[in-house]
């Protein structure tokens, strides 16, 4: 009869431990990838928010300059109209015509600046909306990064301690962090306490 050698329980325990360690190490690497993607999303959201804010501020400054010019033409037109009313009787017909033509041109310029400022205002508001969207994304990325970093630490601890329970906590933390990261990209759900 052939002799059957039973495996040593210590060797089986060590092999089991190595399998657990490999799985946890693989998951930790996946957590690190998710963290990198989340970090990239957070950085991009912050950059886009700051850029949109700067562009919006530039548009509002441009808008303000158009408003000032519009009012300048309006004031000049009003001044010419007042002068024409006061002195019309003492003016030659050519001068009255010149005043009327000047008033018309000033009115056209006033209207042009009024139309231009509306387009600029629309662009500034669009940029403000873009800024606000990216501002709303940022907290989700921030909290996602924290949760995923915690999951990486917990994974390392679970390897050292050989604890499945700690690894399950790491999985839960990574899952929550991944959901927050996904929400940061897509803004599917608004979580009130994050704003």
Q: Per-residue pLDDT for 8 more than 70? A: no
Which one, of 178, 153, 147, 175, lies nearest residue 166 by Cα? Answer: 153
Distance CA 179, CA 168 (A): 16
Distance CA 61, CA 119 (A): 13
pLDDT digits 0-9 by tens, 101-136: 999 999 999 999 999 999 999 999 999 999 999 999
CB neighbourhood size of 37 (10 A): 17
Contact 110, 150 (CB under 8 A): no
Residue that has been written with the tokens 């679970």 in this structure:
158
Distance CA 100, CA 92 (A): 12
Q: For 88-163, where are the alpha helices, taking DSSP H only? A: 93-161
Q: Per-residue pLDDT for 2 more than 60? A: no
pLDDT digits 0-9 by tens, 11-66: 656 766 688 999 999 999 999 999 999 999 999 999 999 999 999 999 999 999 99
pLDDT digits 0-9 by tens, 165-183: 999 999 999 999 999 999 9
Domain boundaries, the chain: 24-194
């Amino acid at each position: 009869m052939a002799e059957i050698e039973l495996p040593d329980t210590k060797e089986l325990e060590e092999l089991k431990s190595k399998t657990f360690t490999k799985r946890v190490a693989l998951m930790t690497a996946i957590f690190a990838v998710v963290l990198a993607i989340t970090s990239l999303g957070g950085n991009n959201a912050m950059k886009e928010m700051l850029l949109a804010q700067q562009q919006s501020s530039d548009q509002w400054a441009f808008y303000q300059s158009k408003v000032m010019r519009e009012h300048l033409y309006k004031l000049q037109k009003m001044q010419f109209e007042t002068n024409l009313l006061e002195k019309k009787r003492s003016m030659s017909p050519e001068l009255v015509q010149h005043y009327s033509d000047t008033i018309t041109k000033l009115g056209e310029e006033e209207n042009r600046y009024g139309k231009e400022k509306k387009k600029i205002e629309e662009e500034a508001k669009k940029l403000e909306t873009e800024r606000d969207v990216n501002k709303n994304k940022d907290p989700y990325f921030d909290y996602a990064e924290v949760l995923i970093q915690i999951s990486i630490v917990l994974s390392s601890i679970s390897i050292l301690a050989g604890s499945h329970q700690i690894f399950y906590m790491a999985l839960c933390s990574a899952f929550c962090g991944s959901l927050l990261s996904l929400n940061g990209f897509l803004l599917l759900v608004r979580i009130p306490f994050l704003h």
